[in-house]
Structure 1
Amino acid sequence: MKLMIVSDIHGSYDDFKRVMDIYEEEQVDKLILLGDLLYHGPRNPLPEGYQPKKVIQLLNQYKDKIIAVRGNCDAEVDQMVLEFPMRSDYIEMYIDQHRFFLTHGHLYDETHLPMLQQGDVFMYGHFHKPALKKENGIIFFNPSSISLPKAGEKSFGIYENGELKIVSLGKKCLQSMKI
């Protein structure tokens, strides 16, 4: 199974459209969204290509492929326009004998972890900074933001065949790790 992991779209249609073009080119099976889908929030500038209504339309085209968690900029009213569930604070998935704990990062983060065990993968966004590391047997993965990165390039994640990657919008692999 090939997964694409995207966080912190913040309503940027241009960046999200680029990611979904890559999704199609790479024949990805599922799209994991780690929150902050439509709005930029009061602390962030407007991202380039800010068009939340167009992002809604594009997201809804992939509703049967999306697994999503709620971010701190996501509101209850967003669920009224999105045709897939996105209000959970976290989701657990089991893939290739690993537990993947998906969350946005504003409730759980590296300093406030849920109950995890060795071999688990903690996936989060929120900070707009890429992270791919293993500490105490736990893999930490943050794909950064596709619209408003605070460190490095605009990027997303890919998981396939036991390997996690952080990939730029230009399709350059920035980091990778076998888990």
Structure 2
Amino acid sequence: MKILIISDTHGAHRNFDRVIEKEQPLDMLIHLGDVEGDEDYIPAVADCPVHMVRGNNDFFSDLPGEEEFMIGGYHIFITHGHGYYVSMGEERLKQEARGRGADIAMYGHTHRPFYEKEKDLITLNPGSLCYPRQQGRKPSYMLMQIDDNGKMEITQEYLNP
């Protein structure tokens, strides 16, 4: 199973389209908020099941603010992250994810890639495809792959500008 994890596209299609072309076929896409009007465009182009949450810039969106679901045997909790003050650190988000029994917490908002694996929780942020803020400012996303035995691998990926 191949899952694309993105965030903070802010209504810009160019890099999203490039990633889709590069990574297809996909089994699932997860968008962690700030789609800014692309609620219909993203699933149509991805051509796979999509989980999307509302970000702080999705003012008129009907997307949920958070979502929980299973991928294989993994309990996933997704949110944009601004409601957990992730710009100041991941502790509130981690506390919430653990309280929900999540194995993996995914968020966006900061436009900076982040990955941390602890004994009971993986916390990740794919960064931003359109407005990256990390050193080097390369557009970023993550891939999650789960093999037939349920073994998961998560990789950080970058697009050349």
State the TM-score bracket (shorter-chain normalisation).
Answer: 0.7 to 0.9
SS at match of 1:20: helix
Q: Deviations over 1:11-34 (max 9, x none)?
A: 22211211221232xx11111110
- How far does the alpha carbon of each residue in 1:46-85 deviate from its partner, in whole angstroms, 9 at most, with x for none? xxxxxx6xx5664252476221001000022x44xxxxxx
Residues 102-151 of structure 1, C-alpha deviations (whole Å, 9 max, x = no match): 11111134131214167711100100111111235211110000011110
Match of 1:21 in 2: 21
Instruction: Report percent identity of matched pairs.
Output: 33
Q: Give 4+ residue runs of structure 1 displaced > 3 Å after superposition.
A: 55-58
2:58 aligned with 1:74, yes or no? yes
Query: 1:60–1:96: structure 2 CA closer, same or farther, 3 Å change rule?
Result: closer
Structure 2: segments with no counterpart, 5+ residues: 147-151
CA contact (8 A) 2:129 2:140 kept: yes
Is 1:157 aligned to 2:136, yes or no? Answer: no
Total equivalences in the alignment:
145
Q: After superposing the two structures, state which structure 1 stretch, 55-64 or 131-140, moved more.
A: 55-64
What does 1:26-105 align with in structure 2 at a 5 Å threshold? 27-38=25-36, 58-61=41-44, 62=46, 65-76=49-60, 78-79=61-62, 87-105=63-81
Aligned pair in 2 of structure 1 residues 18, 94: CA closer, same or farther (>3 Å)? same
Q: Where does structure 1 lack aligned partners over 5 or more consecutive residues?
A: 39-51, 80-86, 171-179
